[in-house]
């Protein structure tokens, strides 16, 4: 898709400069790269200010100071740290120091307990992943998009970074082609450029979930007033690389027009007529949880999630519930609205029950989900499933200032 270069402050994630054509970076050592688009793009959007001279050094390991500047330059919604903010003793003055202090102030890339930032210290791949995850979390976009298979070298990943790496894997942000993550290796400048390019840009076949989510939140804010208001009449979830807006009744007057105008990849968004809103799911989950706990005891309850695809509330339990509990669920929540699944046990298939329906008639896997290898954990997205009103409002207020 050929588009003119634009600069837009996103509603929840970074600055987006969308362009199919970027000025060629002046670096003379990019001949070893099979694809230099990421470097050209980041250079053109002035994200590579930490590199001076005419050498990019693609295989050079990124330092903490380099990473802080790359992140700060790419993410226009990280505020400049106030002068009185506590800073590490070894942070330099000038714009480089401003970037380090700012990302540290937001807890994205913090200093060490010894009072120093260590800007020259090299960054490993797992440490880099943790910083990207923290930035997504800063923007309230850190929920995984789908279940993923572990990397072949998952055992070598530091436990503290395991969930972080899984989230980036699920969002297709940091996925090595050979299925080896190489967590302890240094993060090269070339690989870092590719990650930031994927975060900021989506042309061709690749769809940046972070970018689409962010732009759509801005559209919803403009059309409905805020995402919490929208959630009274709709839902939002990923189905593969399609971000679905499930709306009760007819869409608002200019929603489709705003999506076509303000989202760089509008074909990644689908509007679907539904019978339940996000607020409805929250109420139904509360009723279902109370019903199971009242009837079965708290020890049988594990967790709950909405299944936006099948329009059900999914409760995970330790063992199947009684027929009396199923009948009570159907009465309190609605026939077919509650699906109960036993907690996963290695080597065993979870038992599925649907309130108000005979077990032999249960069929909850759609064609799309069969293509996703029948993994029931992929039937629903955690995107904005938690109580998000205050978080989203905070992001919106930051952007609209």
Q: What would the pLDDT profile of 26-85 be if each residue is shown by its tens digit?
A: 999 998 888 888 898 888 778 999 998 899 999 999 999 999 999 998 886 788 776 555
- Residue 287 CB partners (closer than 8 Å, separation 6+): 332, 333
CB 210 within 8 A of CB 136: yes
Cβ atoms within 10 Å, residue 29: 12
Q: How does residue 11 score in pLDDT terms, banded at 50, 70 and 90? A: very low
What does the pLDDT average to over 333-337? Answer: 94
What gap in Å lies between CA 268 and CA 264, rounded to an integer?
9
What gap in Å lies between CA 157 and CA 174, rounded to an integer?
14
CA dihedral 399, 134, 315, 333 (to 10 degrees): -10
* Residue 361: predicted pLDDT: 37
- Tell me the pTM: 0.51
What does the pLDDT average to over 15-22? Answer: 37
* Residue 397: predicted pLDDT: 45
CB 174 within 8 A of CB 164: no
Cβ atoms within 10 Å, residue 377: 14
What gap in Å lies between CA 130 and CA 107, rounded to an integer?
11
């Amino acid at each position: 898709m050929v588009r003119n270069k634009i600069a837009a402050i996103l509603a929840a994630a970074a600055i987006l400069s969308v362009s199919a054509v970027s000025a060629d970076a002046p670096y003379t050592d990019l001949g070893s790269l099979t694809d230099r688009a990421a470097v050209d793009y980041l250079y053109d959007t002035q994200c590579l200010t930490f590199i001076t001279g005419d050498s990019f050094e693609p295989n050079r390991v990124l330092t903490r100071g380099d990473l802080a500047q790359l992140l700060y330059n790419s993410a226009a919604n990280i505020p400049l740290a106030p002068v009185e903010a506590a800073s590490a003793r070894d942070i330099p003055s000038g714009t480089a120091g401003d970037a380090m202090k700012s990302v540290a102030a937001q807890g994205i890339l913090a200093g060490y307990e010894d009072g120093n930032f260590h800007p020259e210290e090299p960054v490993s791949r797992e440490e880099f992943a943790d910083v990207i995850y923290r930035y997504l979390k800063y923007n309230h976009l850190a929920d995984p998009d789908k279940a993923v298979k572990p990397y072949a070298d998952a055992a070598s990943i530091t436990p503290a970074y395991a969930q972080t790496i899984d989230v980036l894997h699920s969002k297709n942000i940091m996925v090595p082609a050979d299925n080896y993550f190489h967590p302890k290796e240094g993060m090269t400048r070339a690989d870092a450029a590719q990650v930031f390019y994927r975060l900021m840009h989506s042309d061709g076949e690749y769809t940046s979930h972070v970018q689409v989510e962010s732009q759509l939140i801005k559209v919803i804010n403009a059309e409905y007033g805020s995402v919490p208001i929208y959630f009274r009449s709709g839902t939002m979830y990923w189905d593969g690389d399609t971000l679905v807006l499930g709306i009760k009744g007819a869409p608002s007057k200019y929603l489709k027009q705003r999506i076509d105008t303000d989202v760089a990849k509008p074909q990644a968004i689908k509007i679907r007529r539904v019978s339940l809103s996000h607020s409805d799911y929250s109420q139904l989950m509360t009723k279902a949880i109370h019903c199971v706990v009242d009837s079965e005891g708290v020890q049988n309850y594990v967790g709950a999630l909405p299944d936006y695809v099948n329009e059900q509330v999914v409760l995970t339990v330790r063992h199947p519930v009684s027929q009396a509990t199923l009948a009570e669920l159907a009465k309190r929540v609605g026939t077919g609205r509650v699906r109960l699944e036993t907690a996963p046990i290695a080597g065993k298939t979870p038992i599925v029950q649907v309130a108000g329906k005979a077990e032999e008639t249960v069929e909850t896997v759609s064609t799309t989900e069969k293509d996703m290898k029948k993994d029931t954990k992929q039937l629903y997205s955690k995107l904005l499933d938690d109580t998000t009103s205050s978080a989203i409002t905070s992001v919106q207020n930051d952007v609209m200032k």
